[in-house]
Structure 1
Amino acid sequence: MIYDFEFRKNIKKKKLYEAIAKEILNAWDAKTPIEIKKRFLHLAKKYHPDINHKESAKKKFQDISLSYRILTQWDDSILNEKFSTISEFDVKIIKIKANINDEKSHIERFKNLY
């Protein structure tokens, strides 16, 4: 059996990106795409660069837009994009909240041996 390590890594990264997106949109309890869209529109109106002229609002709007794309129109090119307002500390908190383990799988441990 051949293991695609890159694919496994992308699945983990996708799970993390979805957790970050839910945190940004405050959509942990959103069950339908309609609820996610409502939260996106609410935040987009608040942080849109035409309305809010602060630099931090522009970055926040970029994160909100990326989060909405992650939760509604996923494609693997999103893995190359980065959140601008999320720090390493925030990522650790989100991992705890989303119950994402940092522990390596047995396959990844085996891969590191050779």
Structure 2
Amino acid sequence: MIYDFEFRKNIKQKKLYEIIAKEILNVWDAKSSQEIKKRYLVLAKKYHPDVNSSESAKKKFQDISLSYKILTQWDDLILNEKFVTISAFDIKIIKIKANIKDDKSYFERYRSIY
């Protein structure tokens, strides 16, 4: 059996990206893709650059769009895209909600992704 390290690395990154995406869209308890889509549309309307002209809103909108893309149509090319507004405080929240105990395995790699 061939052990594909690159594939396993991509799966771990995908899981981490999904955790971050769920945190950004606040869809931890979503049961269907329709609920995710509703939440995405609410946030997209609030932070769209045509509606909200601040620079932070533009970055937040990019994060929201990437999060929705990750949760609905995963593609390995997404690994090259980056979240813009993730902070150290956000990482703590993500760790708590996802029950991640092993800091180094996820979050040291998380820092190296960006």
Question: TM-score, with normalisation over the residues of structure 2?
Answer: 0.84
Paired residue type of 2:3: Y
**1:89, distance to aligned residue in structure 2 (A):** 4.4
Matched, 1:79 2:73: no
Q: Rg bigger for which structure?
A: 1
- Structure 2 spans left out of the alignment, 5+ residues: 106-114
> Aligned-residue CA RMSD in angstroms?
1.8
Cα offset for 1:99? 2.6
**What is residue 27 of structure 2 aligned with on the other side?**
27
Structure 1 Cα separation of the partners of residues 26 and 19 of structure 2: 10
Q: Evaluate the alpha carbon distance shift between residue 103 and residue 8 of structure 1 in structure 2; reply closer, same or farther with a 3 A threshold.
A: farther
Q: Which residue of 2 aligns with 1:54?
A: 54
Aligned residue in 2 for 1:45? 45
4+ runs deviating over 4 angstroms: none
Q: Which runs of 5+ in 1 are unaligned?
A: 106-114
Alpha carbons of 1:102 and 1:13: their partners in 2 closer, same or farther (altered >3 Å)? Answer: farther
CA–CA distance in structure 1, aligned partners of residues 23 and 103 of structure 2 = 22
